[in-house]
Amino acid sequence: MSAGRLILCPTPIGNLSDGSPRVAEALLGADLVLCEDTRRTGKLLAHLASEAGGVERPPMRSLHDHNERGQVDGLVRQLQEGARIALCSDAGTPLVSDPGLALVRGCIAAGVDIESLPGPSAVLVALGVSGLATDRWRFVGFPPRKGDGLTDALMSVETTVAFEAPGRLAGTLAAIAAIDPVRQVVVARELTKLHEEIVRGTAEELAERYEEAPPKGEVTIVVEGVAPETDDDAAIAATERLVAAGARVKEAAAVVAELTGARANALYRAVIERR
């Protein structure tokens, strides 16, 4: 038989209408669909099959972090024998904080063709609506739960995108605020779904908001990159004068930044370090 192909198929992150015709064709035409949760992907395949006029759905098999390595050799053999296998995650683009890397590496080692189709990604959707810099950014998946690892993951010179569990969101924001309370953060919740919500503010403001009312649903956060240290002595001095007159450092830095073009979080840190 001719060699088969592994096809990476992004699936909708919420709205089923976001799936592309190419992905639908690949999923419905596959000899086998690999997915994290067969119940969730089963609903998607049922929707696609209905949209295609009631075609027969392909068989599915669960592939997740706990069983992936044990399946790689057998799946690679199937591909070498001519099978077309589609790989998808529960939502979004495969391998982005989801299983599949071991299989992809196995296919590469065996010379099996891999095709990756474009499609939905919560990372890119959140980055696009954030209003933060997009020329240099990074994605860190789910950050460490606490300690230096958490802040190291999120405090970068680049815009940082991360997934976060709703119950951990307030703590993560508080950890950022403890270092830089005026750092801009965007919380994107339930993207593309009925109750989509985009909330922008400083780390301190959002930490207080979500401590009082923890969010529900799937959460993606976008964190402003660390501002370079400012060498504008006049802007720092102006900020210090406002603080001496009774203003809070955060508000003083924001006012001077608006007037001078300096970055508020750089002014904030410069004043705090001098106190």
CATH number of the domain within which 91 lies: 3.40.1010.10
Question: What total of structural domains would you count in the chain?
Answer: 3
Whether residues 110 and 145 share a domain: the answer is: no
Q: CATH no. for residue 186?
A: 3.30.950.10
Whether residues 189 and 147 share a domain: the answer is: yes
Of 116, 136, 159, the position where a domain reaches its end is 116
Calculate Rg over the CA atoms of the chain: 23
- The predicted model scores a pTM of 0.81
Contacts for 150-153: CB closer than 8 Å, 24+ residues apart: 150/175, 151/175, 151/176, 151/179
Q: Report the DSSP beta bridge partners of residue 138.
A: 160
pLDDT tens-digit map of 115-147? 999 999 999 999 999 999 999 999 999 999 888
Would you give the DSSP letter of residue 11?
B
Backbone angles phi, psi at 225, to 5 degrees: -70, 155
Whether residues 22 and 110 share a domain: the answer is: yes
Q: How confident is the model at residue 230 (pLDDT cuts 50, 70, 90)?
A: low
Whether residues 208 and 239 share a domain: the answer is: no
Which residue range is the domain that position 78 belongs to?
5-116
43 in any annotated domain: yes
Whether residues 133 and 202 share a domain: the answer is: yes
Whether residues 39 and 129 share a domain: the answer is: no
10 in any annotated domain: yes
For residue 92, is pLDDT > 60? yes
Whether residues 218 and 244 share a domain: the answer is: no
pLDDT tens-digit map of 99-110? 999 999 999 999
CB atoms within 10 A of CB 253: 29
pLDDT tens-digit map of 142-200? 999 888 888 888 988 899 999 999 999 999 999 999 988 989 999 999 999 999 999 99
Of 99, 116, 133, the position where a domain reaches its end is 116
What does each C-alpha distance from 266 to 45, 120, 240, 254, 271 come to in angstroms? Answer: 50, 35, 13, 10, 9
Contact 231, 237 (CB under 8 A): no
Distance CA 271, CA 178 (A): 15
Residues 204, 248, 207: CA angle, nearest 5 degrees: 5
Whether residues 52 and 17 share a domain: the answer is: yes
228 in any annotated domain: no
